[in-house]
Chain A
Amino acid sequence: MLIMRTSILLLLTAVILGLAIAPVPAHAEAPVQTETPIQTESPSATPSPGASATLETAPTGLAAGGPARFTLYIPAASSLVIPPAPPASTTYYVLNTDPAALYQLGCQQAQADAARPEADDMLVILDFGQGYSEKEEGKERVWGTWLFSPAWRFISMDTIAAAARGYIQGYWACAKGGDRLTLGIGTNNYGGYGSDSKDPEVREAFASEHGRRWAQMVASVASWSASSGYATRVTVVGANDIELSWNPPNVTRAWVASYTAVNGSRIPYYNFGACEGCPTVPYPTWKGVNGWTQEDVWYAAWGAAAAWPLPEIYLNTGIHARQWQQMSWYSATRHGLRMDFVGAMTQQVACQQRGGCTFSNGQRMDNPPDVGWRQLYEALFKDPLTRQTKLRWSTDIRWMNR
């Protein structure tokens, strides 16, 4: 009888605990700590090695300014909570803008997804290179991008839109079942946007105009996708590989602000950039290359209404993941809400294609997609302030065959 009572008690306890850790609405969580001062040392942000050996449940929603209300620790059970990485998609550095070639790539992705039941929700970014513009005498300035080497030539926004439409049609024509795709039309924040100037103020003006036009172009493709019926499967967003060494923050901020202002920021963009040199521990006075601050990185990756972070997690040491975790910690403590990452990007195939991904000290920049995704997941998970139990996508970038 005593045993039965004990058993029932155990079960009741389990049910109560189960309810306690079940997803709870964000409004039921701990009081918001939006004014939390930046700490110079945070044990939670620099967990001890043993911290990874704990299982901690978390709410599904965004934690506003603080950890989840209910926390359960089960020692040495962390493997239970780290889910398998989602299937990786193929993202491209575009070298051929022929819509027929992009159609074939879209169809290939759809067929590959159809062959994997778990690949029903994928993300692909088409990276068309640095923002650029050209002006011929007596004509209006034409905006677009400068394609990557070795293609290395100017293409207009019209060409980019046509290429993206080709990819969408190819995917849609070949997709099966309930498979879906989010397509990012991408550029990067390098260079003078056709200004032929290194003056940050001149570049700022050009970047601003480019951001506005990029948003209009992406919105037009999204609208076409809807009116053609393709948006049942394909969602169109913008994308930008924002790297700190490629321009001062004022230039990139100008692009972001203009992009965001178009159409009331209804078309998001994914920042698939790096946070090179960013701290991995709280460092409020940090200043990076070109004068970037954490506030600048935050704005370009999450603070702007249109921005969502999809960070490059290239390095096998996991430093990239820790840098972005620290950015999310900055967001939580300074702005009251952690960042919400949409996934992780790797470059394993690009490294296989072109080499140059190994440093003299043995470090490598060619994380496989599942490793990069896991590094980010684990880094975010270790601190309740940055914990994110859903990390939607994994994508690996490669060079398009010409």
Chain B
Amino acid sequence: MPRRKRFWIPLVFAALALAALAVPVLAQQAGPGRLEGWAARKAAELEAALPQVRDRAMADSLEGKVAALRYQESLEATAAAVGAVPPEDPCALMPTPLPAAKADARPDGILEGPLAVMPGTSVEVHNQWTGQAGGIRLTAFAGLRLDLPGQGVVVVWEDNSAGGGEYLAPQATGALKIVAERQGRLELVDEQGSILFFDLPARQFLTPAEAQAKSALPTVIPQPTFTPAPQLCPVR
């Protein structure tokens, strides 16, 4: 065999070596969820770490977590012993839908309640209005930006559409509250008692002159509406 060809041999072995290195790394990436008994393995992992932990608070926490994982295992064992079998018809177990009156439909108009948070934002909601404005069904919230001192805000949501937005009051004069709605215009009051107007179809606060003029402002373009997922199980 010509000598130069033999130089490939170490390269082949080197490739094998890299593969040997990769196996344990890839094995770690396999993810516990791919396998059965995640709770048992996690409990064992925490128990193995426990003797290393000198911090009392951390050790107590770990012991509690291990106990919870063991309990989870016992619940799974209980369920397995029941041996329940899913029905042929996936809709067979669906509860009877509640009458509309008991469901979560809310009346149109101004709705009062406790201060509420709008998750994923820094908006604290003080009250809301729901109805049709500019041919679109929407909800407008009035409140405060928690991250901007004294900054009032109006947030508009269109039902199942991305056409909403957040609109800061012209001055940071405290939280806003809706006191009335007339022909698509919200009348709001801030913490200093001043009255502000917000035009819903135009999505903007009005200057006093605009509020007096009562002329229509340019309307925002409606956004595409999301198509709700089809109901899998027909209502019986």
Q: Which residues of A contact B113 (CB under 8 A)?
A: 146, 152-153
**Listed A/B pairs (26) with beta-carbon separation below 8 Å:** A6-B10, A11-B20, A13-B17, A26-B45, A34-B53, A61-B45, A61-B48, A86-B31, A98-B102, A100-B94, A130-B116, A147-B104, A150-B111, A173-B91, A229-B79, A231-B78, A235-B39, A245-B122, A245-B146, A246-B117, A264-B64, A265-B68, A267-B68, A305-B65, A390-B28, A402-B104
Number of interface residues of A (CB under 8 A): 130
Docked CA distance A188–B161 (Å): 25
Q: Does B25 contact A (CB under 8 A)?
A: yes
List which A341-366 residues lie within 8 A (CB) of chain B: 347, 350-357, 365
Q: Does A335 contact B (CB under 8 A)?
A: yes
Q: Does A266 contact B (CB under 8 A)?
A: yes
Known contacts A245-B147, A308-B65, A401-B228; 14 additional CB pairs below 8 A are A14-B21, A26-B49, A55-B25, A80-B22, A103-B94, A121-B33, A121-B38, A150-B111, A170-B93, A190-B117, A225-B79, A241-B119, A356-B165, A390-B29
Q: Does B14 contact A (CB under 8 A)?
A: yes
Q: Which residues of A contact B86 (CB under 8 A)?
A: 172-175
Q: Does B67 contact A (CB under 8 A)?
A: yes
Majority secondary structure of chain A interface residues (helix, strand, loop or mixed) = mixed
Q: Which residues of A contact B67 (CB under 8 A)?
A: 264-266, 305
| CB atoms of A302 and B33 under 8 A apart | no
Mark A280-294 against chain B: 1 for CB-CB distance below 8 A, else 0. Answer: 000000000000000
In the complex, what's the smallest C-beta–C-beta distance from A146 to chain B, in angstroms? 6
Given A74, A86, A153, which contacts B104 in the complex, CB threshold below 8 Å?
A153
Q: Which residues of B contact A57 (CB under 8 A)?
A: 24-25, 28
Q: Which residues of B contact A62 (CB under 8 A)?
A: 45-46, 49
Known: A98-B103, A151-B104, A153-B113. A266 touches B20 (CB 8 A): no
Q: Which residues of B contact A3 (CB under 8 A)?
A: 6-7, 9-10
| CB atoms of A357 and B7 under 8 A apart | no
Closest B residue, CB atoms, query A123? B33
Interface 9-mer from A37-45, A89-97, A318-326: A89-97
Given A120, A225, A351, which contacts B120 in the complex, CB threshold below 8 Å?
A351
| CB atoms of A34 and B45 under 8 A apart | no
Q: Does A207 contact B (CB under 8 A)?
A: no
| CB atoms of A228 and B29 under 8 A apart | no
| CB atoms of B54 and A80 under 8 A apart | no
Q: Which residues of B contact A392 (CB under 8 A)?
A: 31-33, 38
Q: Does B27 contact A (CB under 8 A)?
A: yes
Known: A99-B95, A149-B125, A191-B117. A305 touches B79 (CB 8 A): no
Q: Does B106 contact A (CB under 8 A)?
A: yes
Q: Does B18 contact A (CB under 8 A)?
A: yes
Docked CA distance A58–B106 (Å): 53
Mark B44-67 against chain A: 1 for CB-CB distance below 8 A, else 0. Answer: 011011011111011011111101
Q: Which residues of B contact A169 (CB under 8 A)?
A: 93-95
For A15, A72, A232, A306, the residue with the greatest tally of chain B CB atoms inside 10 Å of its CB is: A232
Docked CA distance A397–B60 (Å): 32
Given A23, A150, A190, A232, which contacts B27 in the complex, CB threshold below 8 Å?
A23
